[in-house]
Structure 1
Amino acid sequence: MLTTFFILIAAYLVGAIPTGVILTRLTGGEDIRKTGSGNIGATNVYRTAGRKLGIITLLGDALKGLLPVLTVSLCFPADTTLIALTAAASFLGHCYPVYLGFKGGKGVATALGIFLVLSPLSVLLAVFIFAGLVWKTRYVSLGSISAAAAMPICILLLGNDTAIFTGALFISAIIIWRHRENIDRLIRGKENRFKA
């Protein structure tokens, strides 16, 4: 029980590392929370601080989801409940980071890292959905919401166990919830389109 507690705390603290904030500060840029959409994630960094920092932020945010889940998967491969809880903890760290007063990102890149460990084939299917929608509509938010909604379905169809499916459902629901303002803007036709 104590081991599980420390694993989950460690996963949360790794997930809470604010990659975008750190990178923009290190490069002399302004606080990412005070520019663009105010979000700390890769899309806002890309739009306000440039392509290179946006891509590095994406990779960093994905890694902080991937590494804790991969570590636990290798150390406790049969304990899918612990693996799913670790995934949830690192994801919540990104969305509600203690280092930033619990005001974090929307979790898409961190979820990507998590799902690459939990179900790589599901990620492939979700990436097709994301890329197709962003290419067609130029709305990153629509692609993110749709891919998040598809992930638990893909995981279920590919035969993963109940704990992994439940973890995926939890993560996907929070991603969609954290995009509620984007959903409102999409409905009103006010959402910003992505410019490559």
Structure 2
Amino acid sequence: IIRALLAGENVNHHGAHFDVENAQLWDLPDTPLPIGVAVSGDSSCELAGRLADLLIATEPRPELTSAFDGYGGAGKPKVGQLPICYDPDLDAAMARAHDQFRWFGGGWPVNSELPGPTAFAGATQFVRPEDVAESIPCGDDVEAVVEAVRPYADAGFTEVALVQIGGDHQEPYLEWAEQKLLPALREL
């Protein structure tokens, strides 16, 4: 469906999961956009290897990258996604990560079954800022981020997307990343 839309086609599709009636994109990109598929197990790796231009995963599991390769993804980018919360004040970083990302520790099997904000609030009501900081690098410790990225590199990921928590902290994060973090990550 997406590839046909990006090719400028008029799409009509009636399938097990989606119904699309008379859809068409009028403002097409100059070059085709790569399509990534998030994976969590063998079935999604098979789909991604066969149809996607790149793999996306939130866990550094080597079985995901090897399955993707085996299903036709060999040579395609494999992107690991890792949240971090930069702030020179560790306590502020932990508080922000807790406020905006405390659901992260529940993992995909839990999060995929929660029906809405009330359920997320209930599932995370006993999560403390310290708990969040155990799974998400917080503060300005370059080595902590490098150590969090290392399992992705070891698992065969070709890229790691660092997700900075906190929209109003992007500029200081980007400056820190350029000056300190990226040089350290290039040594991996």
Under TM normalisation by the shorter chain, which class is it?
under 0.3
Normalising by the residue count of structure 2, what TM-score does the alignment of the two structures yield? 0.28
Q: Which has the higher strand share?
A: 2
Greater Cα radius of gyration, structure 1 or 2: 2
Normalising by the residue count of structure 1, what TM-score does the alignment of the two structures yield? 0.27
Q: Which has the higher helix share?
A: 1
